[in-house]
Structure 1
Amino acid sequence: MADLAKTTNPLSVVAKLCYAFGGVGGEILWVVFGAYTSIFLVDVAQMPPLFAASIIFGSRVVDILCNVFLGPMIDRTNTRWGKIKPWIVISTLFLIVTNALVWYVPDVGTGGKLAWYIILYILLVLAFSGFSISYRTFVMFLSEDSSERDSAMQYRALLAIVGVVGGIVMHGQTLASFRRSEHDSCDNMTYSANSSTNSSVDGVSLQMTRTGYIISSAAVCGLLLLCLSAVVFGTTERKDISATSGGKRDQNMFKTAKIVLTFRPNVYFLLAYFFIQIPVSIGHGGIALYVQYSLDLEDQIENVILAMMVASAAAMPVIAWVVSKLGRKTSYICFQLAAIPIYIGFQFVPKGSLAVFAVVIALGVTVLAQNFIPWLIVSDITEDCCLQTGERLDTPFVAIFLSTKSLAITVGLIMATIGLEIGGYKVGSCTQPDTVGSALRILASTFTSVLTFIGVVFAWRYPITEDRRKEITEAINKRKLSRNSQPDETQRNGSLSNVNGKVLLPEESSRPEGLQEGDKLLSSELDLSVLLDCKESVV
Structure 2
Amino acid sequence: MAVSPEGTPAPPVETLPSPPEAHTLEPASVSAKRGERGDSGAGRLSFCTKVCYGIGGVPNQVASSAIAFYLQLFLLDVAQIPAAQVSLVLFGGKVSGAAADPLAGFFINRSRRTGSGRLMPWVLGCTPFIALASFFLWFLPPFTSLRGLWYTALYSLFQALATFFQVPYTALTMLLTPSPRERDSATVYRMTLEMAGTLMGATVHGLIVSGAHGSHRCKETALPGQVAVSPNATRLYSVAATVVAVTYPVCSSLLCLGVKERPGASARAAGQGLSFLAGLRLTVRHPPYLKLVISFLFISAAVQVEQSYLVLFCAHASRLHDHVQSLVLTILVSAVLSTPMWEWVLQRFGKRMSAFGIFGMVPFAILLAAMPTAPVAYVVAFVSGVSIAVSLLLPWSMLPDVVDEFQLQHQHGPGLETIFYSSYVFFTKLSGAGALGISTLSLDFAGYKSGACKQAEQVVVTLKVLIGAMPTCMILIGLCILMVGPTPKVPSRNSSRSLGRRTSYSLA
The two structures have a TM-score, normalised by structure 1, of 0.77
Distance 1:256 1:456 in 2: 27
Query: Equivalent residue for 2:54?
Result: 20
Residue 11 of structure 1, CA deviation: 4.1
Q: Which moved more, 1:293-302 or 1:28-37?
A: 293-302
- Alpha carbons of 1:177 and 1:49: their partners in 2 closer, same or farther (altered >3 Å)? closer
- Alpha carbons of 1:413 and 1:317: their partners in 2 closer, same or farther (altered >3 Å)? same
Does the aligned pair in 1 maintain the 2:38–2:178 contact within 8 Å?
A: no
Query: Equivalent residue for 1:95?
Result: 130
Note the alpha carbon deviations across 1:162-210, whole angstroms, 9 max, x for none: 232222221112112455696x5x21778xxxxxx5332134x2x2111
Does the aligned pair in 2 maintain the 1:158–1:316 contact within 8 Å?
A: no
Distance 1:20 1:58 in 2: 30
1:122 counterpart = 2:156 = yes
Residue 448 of structure 1, CA deviation: 1.0
Query: Equivalent residue for 1:389?
Result: 412
Does the aligned pair in 2 maintain the 1:137–1:398 contact within 8 Å?
A: no
Residue 386 of structure 1, CA deviation: 5.9
Distance 1:369 1:451 in 2: 16
- Alpha carbons of 1:120 and 1:198: their partners in 2 closer, same or farther (altered >3 Å)? same
Query: Equivalent residue for 1:506?
Result: none
Does the aligned pair in 2 maintain the 1:106–1:113 contact within 8 Å?
A: yes
Residue 43 of structure 1, CA deviation: 0.7
Distance 1:385 1:236 in 2: 34
In structure 1, the residue corresponding to 2:219 is in which secondary structure? coil
1:428 counterpart = 2:459 = no
Distance 1:237 1:331 in 2: 41
Distance 1:426 1:246 in 2: 56
1:410 counterpart = 2:433 = yes
Note the alpha carbon deviations across 1:85-108, whole angstroms, 9 max, x for none: 233223333211100111111122
Aligned-partner residue type, residue 219 of structure 2: D
Distance 1:83 1:243 in 2: 14
Residue 123 of structure 1, CA deviation: 0.6
Which of 228, 232, 253 lines up with 1:202 in the alignment? 228
Residue 141 of structure 1, CA deviation: 4.6
Residue 50 of structure 1, CA deviation: 0.5
Q: Matches of residues 12-51 of structure 1 in structure 2 within 5 Å?
A: 12-51=46-85
Which of 185, 189, 192 lines up with 1:158 in the alignment? 192
Query: Equivalent residue for 2:36?
Result: 5
Distance 1:212 1:310 in 2: 24
- Alpha carbons of 1:318 and 1:473: their partners in 2 closer, same or farther (altered >3 Å)? closer
Distance 1:19 1:104 in 2: 30
Distance 1:454 1:141 in 2: 40
Q: Which moved more, 1:45-54 or 1:161-170?
A: 161-170
The two structures have a TM-score, normalised by structure 2, of 0.81
Query: Equivalent residue for 2:386?
Result: 365
RMSD: 3.1
Q: Matches of residues 117-516 of structure 1 in structure 2 within 5 Å?
A: 117-142=151-176, 148-178=182-212, 184=217, 186-187=218-219, 198-203=224-229, 205=230, 207-240=231-264, 242-243=266-267, 248=272, 252-327=275-350, 329-330=351-352, 332-350=354-372, 352-381=373-402, 388-460=411-483, 465=488, 467-468=490-491, 470=493, 472-473=495-496
Query: Equivalent residue for 1:483?
Result: none
Residue 213 of structure 1, CA deviation: 1.1
In structure 2, the residue corresponding to 1:200 is in which secondary structure? coil
Aligned-partner residue type, residue 120 of structure 1: L
Residue 69 of structure 1, CA deviation: 2.8
In structure 2, the residue corresponding to 1:219 is in which secondary structure? helix
Unaligned runs of 5+ in 1: 191-196, 478-539
- Alpha carbons of 1:344 and 1:79: their partners in 2 closer, same or farther (altered >3 Å)? same
Distance 2:58 2:110 in 1: 27
Distance 1:97 1:65 in 2: 21
Residue 125 of structure 1, CA deviation: 0.6
Distance 1:138 1:259 in 2: 27
In structure 2, the residue corresponding to 1:105 is in which secondary structure? coil
- Alpha carbons of 1:12 and 1:460: their partners in 2 closer, same or farther (altered >3 Å)? farther
Residue 257 of structure 1, CA deviation: 3.4
Aligned-partner residue type, residue 229 of structure 1: S
Residue 396 of structure 1, CA deviation: 3.6
Distance 1:333 1:270 in 2: 14
Distance 1:55 1:422 in 2: 17
Does the aligned pair in 2 maintain the 1:158–1:313 contact within 8 Å?
A: no
Query: Equivalent residue for 2:108?
Result: 74
Residue 161 of structure 1, CA deviation: 2.5
Does the aligned pair in 1 maintain the 2:400–2:499 contact within 8 Å?
A: no
Residue 19 of structure 1, CA deviation: 2.2
Distance 1:93 1:383 in 2: 39
Note the alpha carbon deviations across 1:448-495, whole angstroms, 9 max, x for none: 122112222343358665654626337879xxxxxxxxxxxxxxxxxx
Note the alpha carbon deviations across 1:281-314, whole angstroms, 9 max, x for none: 0011111111112213222222211111111222
- Alpha carbons of 1:440 and 1:378: their partners in 2 closer, same or farther (altered >3 Å)? same
Distance 1:464 1:232 in 2: 42
Distance 1:475 1:355 in 2: 45
Note the alpha carbon deviations across 1:315-340, whole angstroms, 9 max, x for none: 2322232233234x336513223333
Does the aligned pair in 2 maintain the 1:50–1:418 contact within 8 Å?
A: yes
Does the aligned pair in 1 maintain the 2:123–2:168 contact within 8 Å?
A: yes
In structure 1, the residue corresponding to 2:284 is in which secondary structure? helix
Distance 1:173 1:414 in 2: 27
Distance 2:191 2:275 in 1: 34
Unaligned runs of 5+ in 2: 1-28, 501-508
In structure 2, the residue corresponding to 1:355 is in which secondary structure? helix
Residue 218 of structure 1, CA deviation: 0.7
Does the aligned pair in 2 maintain the 1:275–1:451 contact within 8 Å?
A: yes
